[in-house]
Amino acid sequence: MKPILLMLLLAVAGSTLAAEADNFVPLFNGRDLTGWVNANCAPETWSVRAGLIHCTGHPTGAMRTVRQYENFILEAEWRHLSDGGNSGIFIWGTPIAAPGVPFLRGIEVQVLDHGYAREYEKQNGKKSDWFTTHGDVFPIHGASMKPFSPNHGDRSFPSEDRSKGFPEWNHYRIVGSNGVIRLSVNGKEVSGGENCNYRKGYLALESEGGPVEFRNLRIKELPASGAAPELTAPVDVGWRTLFTGLDLRGWKTNAATASRWHVGGEHLALKAGEANPAAGLWTDKEFRDAEFVLDCRPAKSAEGKEPPPPTVQVRGAKGGEVKLAGATPGSYQRFTVTVKGREVTVKRNEQEIQRLTLPAAAAARGTFGLRDSGGAVEFMNLYVREW
pLDDT per position as a tens digit, 69-107: 999 999 999 999 999 999 999 999 999 999 999 999 999
Together in a domain, 262 and 346: yes
- Which helix or strand (DSSP H or E) is residue 119 part of? helix 114-124
Together in a domain, 154 and 28: yes
The pLDDT-based confidence of 170 (bands split at 50, 70, 90) is: very high
- Judge whether 100 lies within some domain: yes
Together in a domain, 25 and 135: yes
Together in a domain, 294 and 230: no
Burial of 149 (0-12, 13-18, 19+ CB in 10 A): exposed
Residue 78 corresponds to which amino acid? Answer: W
Model confidence at 16: pLDDT above 70: no
Evaluate whether 179 touches 231 at the Cβ level (below 8 Å). yes
- Judge whether 243 lies within some domain: no
Task: Return all residues near 144 (Cβ < 8 A) that are at least 6 apart.
Answer: 154, 195, 196, 197
- Judge whether 242 lies within some domain: no
% residues pLDDT > 70 (the chain): 93
Region of poorest pLDDT, from 3-17, 159-173, 182-196, 240-254: 3-17
The pLDDT-based confidence of 304 (bands split at 50, 70, 90) is: low
Model confidence at 49: pLDDT above 70: yes
Together in a domain, 126 and 212: yes
Range of the domain at 152: 3-235
Per-residue pLDDT of 264-275, as tens digits, reads: 999 999 988 777
Q: Using the 3D structure, point to which of 235, 261, 293 is the last residue of a domain.
A: 235
Burial of 198 (0-12, 13-18, 19+ CB in 10 A): buried
Evaluate whether 78 touches 111 at the Cβ level (below 8 Å). yes
Together in a domain, 47 and 146: yes
Tell me, what's the pLDDT at 5?
45
Residue 103's domain is classified under what CATH number? 2.60.120.560
Give CA–CA dist 139/88, Å, rounded.
12
Together in a domain, 324 and 211: no
Model confidence at 11: pLDDT above 80: no
Together in a domain, 40 and 107: yes
Instruction: Provide the 8-state DSSP code for 259.
Output: G
Together in a domain, 172 and 313: no
Average pLDDT, integer, range 30-38: 97
Q: Using the 3D structure, point to which of 235, 262, 291 is the last residue of a domain.
A: 235
Together in a domain, 226 and 299: no
Q: Give the 3-state secondary structure of residue 56.
A: coil
The pLDDT-based confidence of 142 (bands split at 50, 70, 90) is: very high
Together in a domain, 21 and 57: yes
Tell me, what's the pLDDT at 256?
64
Evaluate whether 335 touches 324 at the Cβ level (below 8 Å). yes
Q: Using the 3D structure, point to which of 209, 235, 261 is the last residue of a domain.
A: 235
Tell me, what's the pLDDT at 212?
98
Average pLDDT, integer, range 302-327: 88
**Is the entire prediction scored with pTM above 0.75?**
yes
Model confidence at 9: pLDDT above 80: no
**Total domains present in the chain:** 2
Among candidate residues 237, 206, 208, the one with its CA nearest the CA of residue 106: 206
- Judge whether 56 lies within some domain: yes
Evaluate whether 227 touches 69 at the Cβ level (below 8 Å). no
Together in a domain, 137 and 215: yes
Tell me, what's the pLDDT at 4?
46
